[in-house]
């Protein structure tokens, strides 16, 4: 099985290539949003991909778009390849299952992170200063503990190659305006809470996640990008959850730990080829998350 790490659609206009996605313009109001099998960790793209990861991410996002659409409209139009425009049809073999048509929107330059449990960089900051993103928290929290309430900890959206920077929530208004910042904070927590409750019933703890939002020409807010995937979230198996320690996970943490244990330096390292067993294990984790969430076996 080979991974799709680049797409090539010479008759379509490629407008952006992110760490994972290739975006093609269809018309003024529509984009083709393609999830490749690329995987990044610490903002570095690995040389080899995870076969079919893009298909799983696409299915997982579609699943959440449907479940969360009553909280906020989203950019999803269709993932049915037969409904794609004629000019996309020649690329079916490459794109089917990993692509969707979406509304082309103006991306608000804030990564809208919601944390339900204390882990990762939040845990590191708390241990040092008793805060998370400079928000004061109760004393005595333990690693992996749930926050009293989900915490909104926005970060800036960095240019390619740069790292996103955490900001205090009060700074978001200065970047995207007061109204959008307030809506983003409230809606993100609402989206997270609904998803968290759903996932918990199916054996997954969503420890934290990142949403992105866009606006149309009327300044109406939409949920965009990928939603609640193992790339954008930390998913923990609820059955093995233990307070006070780092958790097993269904997401990129496995890869991150592999990199950290092999002496990875996020400011220097590029050109990393992952060993086969790390690829296979990562793939397994993504498939497990998909199955637990949707109740279906991945059709790959
Ligand atoms: N509906 C939309 N309209 C326009 N742009 C979108 C839309 N949905 C998502 N995007 C943008 O498409 C890109 C998706 O690509 P990918 O996930 O690979 O990027 P990324 O490397 O995470 O990029 P970034 O660092 O810019 O977030 C993101 O930059 C995201 O903001
Ligand atoms: Mg992204």
Nearest ligand to the C-alpha atom of residue 221: 1
Distances (CA, A) of 170 to 49, 122, 195: 38, 17, 25
pLDDT by residue (tens digit) across 101-159? 999 999 999 999 999 999 999 999 999 999 999 999 999 999 999 999 999 999 999 77
Tell me if 236 is assigned to some domain.
Answer: yes
pLDDT single digits (tens) 24-52:
999 999 999 999 999 999 889 999 999 99
Q: Are residues 118 and 215 in the same domain?
A: yes
Considering the domain architecture, whether residues 77 and 145 belong to the same structural domain is answered as no
- Core vs surface per residue 27-59: b (16+ CB within 10 A) or e: eeebbbbbbbbbbebeebbbebbbbbbbbbbbb
Atom of ligand 1 nearest to the CA of 43: 21
The model carries a pTM of: 0.95
> What total number of domains does the chain contain?
2
Residues 186 and 235 in one domain: yes
Check pLDDT > 70 for residue 160: no
* CA of 140 relative to ligand 2 center, distance in Å: 34
The residue segments making up the domain with residue 72 are 13-104
Q: Are residues 17 and 92 in the same domain?
A: yes
Q: Which of 56, 89, 104 is the last residue of a domain?
A: 104
pLDDT(180) > 70: yes
77 lies in the same domain as 123: no
Protein residue closest via CA to atom 26 of ligand 1 = 18
Whether 88 is covered by a domain: the verdict is yes
Q: Looking at 78, 104, 130, which one is the last position of a domain?
A: 104
The set of residues, in sequence order, having a beta carbon less than 8 Å from that of 104 and lying 6+ positions away, is: 25, 28, 29, 30, 31
Is the same domain home to 190 and 242? yes
For residues 246 and 168, membership in a common domain is answered with yes
Same domain, 260 and 123: yes
């Amino acid at each position: 099985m080979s991974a799709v790490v680049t797409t090539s659609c010479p008759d379509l206009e490629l407008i952006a290539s992110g760490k994972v996605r290739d975006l093609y313009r269809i018309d003024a109001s529509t984009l083709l949003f393609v999830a490749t099998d690329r995987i990044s960790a610490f903002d570095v793209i690995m040389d080899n991909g995870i076969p079919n990861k893009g298909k799983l991410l696409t299915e997982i996002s579609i699943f959440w778009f449907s479940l969360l659409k009553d909280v906020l409209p989203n950019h999803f139009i269709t993932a049915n390849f037969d409904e794609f425009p004629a000019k996309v049809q020649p690329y079916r073999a490459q794109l089917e299952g990993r692509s969707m048509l979406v509304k082309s929107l103006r991306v608000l330059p804030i990564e809208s992170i919601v944390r339900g449990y204390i882990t990762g960089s939040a845990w590191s900051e708390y241990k040092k200063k008793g805060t998370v993103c400079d928000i004061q928290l109760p004393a005595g929290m333990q690693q992996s503990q749930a926050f009293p309430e989900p915490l909104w900890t926005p970060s800036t959206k960095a240019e390619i190659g740069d790292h996103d920077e955490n900001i205090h929530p009060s700074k978001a208004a200065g970047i995207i305006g007061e109204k959008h910042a307030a809506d983003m904070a409230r809606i993100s927590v609402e989206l997270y809470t609904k998803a968290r409750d759903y996932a918990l019933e199916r054996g997954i703890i969503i420890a934290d996640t990142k949403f992105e939002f866009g606006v149309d020409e009327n300044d109406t807010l939409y949920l965009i990008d990928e939603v609640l995937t193992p790339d954008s979230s930390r998913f923990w198996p609820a059955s093995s959850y233990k307070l006070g320690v780092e958790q097993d996970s269904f997401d990129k943490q496995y890869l991150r730990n592999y990199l950290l244990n092999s002496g990875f330096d996020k400011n220097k390292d590029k050109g990393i080829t992952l060993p086969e067993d790390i690829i296979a294990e990562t793939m397994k984790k993504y498939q497990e998350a998909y199955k637990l969430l949707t109740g279906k076996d991945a059709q790959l």
